[in-house]
Amino acid sequence: MDFKIISQTPEPSDPDPGTTLIGSASALLVDPRDRGLRDLRISVTDRCNFRCTYCMPRSVFNSSYQFLPHGEVLTFEEIVRVAKIFHDLGMEKIRLTGGEPLLRHGIERLIEMLSRELPGTDLTLTTNGAALQSKARALKAAGLTRVTVSLDSLDDATFRMMNDADFPVARVLDAIEAATAEGLAPIKINMVVKRGVNDGHVVEMARYFKGSGNIVRFIEFMDVGATNGWRMRDVVPSAEVVQRIQSVFPCEPADPNYKGEVAKRWRYRDGTGEFGVISSVTEAFCGTCTRARLSTDGALYTCLFAQKGFDLKSMLRAGRSDEEIHNAIASIWQRRDDHYSEIRTAETATQQKVEMSYIGG
């Protein structure tokens, strides 16, 4: 058995020299650091209608940027087939990402297919919210469990500057209300915090959603990809975020919902909800990472900061059996030793890593 190792571009290199087959006890699949395979993030498109400065800066993703041609993108049927194989390997949760997943034509049909074929799987989606208000009812009807909405500021001028698409914050807030009303809740609101840009709006964000039943997660600005101009001095440590909120709203740590949960939970002492912090830069959580990522064109990545992926699409389109693909994925995971956030340095931050719009956040 063989499978190609690919770079982001992607171009195939030599086949992997060996693949170890595994037995039927796939639920016990772990990597060398004893991390199981629980979460699958599927990027359904590499396109987005925003040009957020920390993800798809307009200076790179401009009118001349070459997005993937239609024929290179996985079909819905291929996505479902791979998802079912991952489920057999122990996967319990799917998150649809992008790019902006709501730009993928017929996304509701994919959700319905996944919901039907994998009943009981936690099926979620991350969106910038631009199209969420009009699609919330159809997404819920198709079987979507929850949504996560990216929202980097409640200040309209700051939000428009960060999304670089002149999109108003009011429309995202309306979309969050619509999705809440349709039962896609609790909604998680992701705020990437960048020093000198939006860090002054942390407490305002916490105040707005406190008591709403929805959960804000404050994310440290990360060196994903190689185009967002990441600098350590732009990172606001999660400890500082918690301190700012705690000075206004007394809060305390809360236990994780499950092993490997990325966000550290904090609950308000007055019982009006919680918020979370994601600290990939200052408090690495590599040791409990249970996430695999499937790129828009069918490459498997085992780390958000990866420099290479493994080409599953070629196996799908070459007529390989489910068992062969199953064993290839298992072999990749069994050899996985990713721990980038634990070894991050100024030098590694400049490495040519896969872009977030290609594999999802």
Q: Are strands 264-268 and 251-254 parallel, antiparallel or unpaired?
A: antiparallel
Tens of pLDDT along 233-292?
Answer: 899 999 999 999 999 999 999 999 987 788 999 999 999 999 999 988 888 778 889 999
d(CA 294, CA 292): 7
Per DSSP, helices labelled H in the chain are 76-88, 107-117, 132-142, 156-163, 169-181, 202-209, 238-246, 313-317, 322-334, 340-343, 356-359
d(CA 98, CA 167): 18
Kindly list the domain boundaries of the chain, sorted by start residue.
4-13+34-359
Residues forming a β-bridge with 293: 41, 301
pLDDT at 203 over 50: yes
Average pLDDT for residues 139-168, to the nearest whole number?
98
User: For the ranges 144-148, 161-165, 205-209, 357-361, which has the lowest average pLDDT?
Assistant: 357-361
> What's the confidence (pLDDT) of residue 359?
75
> What's the confidence (pLDDT) of residue 281?
85
Average pLDDT for residues 111-116, to the nearest whole number?
98
Tokens, residue 131: 């199209």
The amino acid present at 201, given as its one-letter code, is H
> What's the confidence (pLDDT) of residue 1?
46
Tell me the CATH class for 4-13+34-359: alpha beta
The pLDDT-based confidence of 12 (bands split at 50, 70, 90) is very low
pLDDT at 18 over 50: no
> What's the confidence (pLDDT) of residue 225?
58
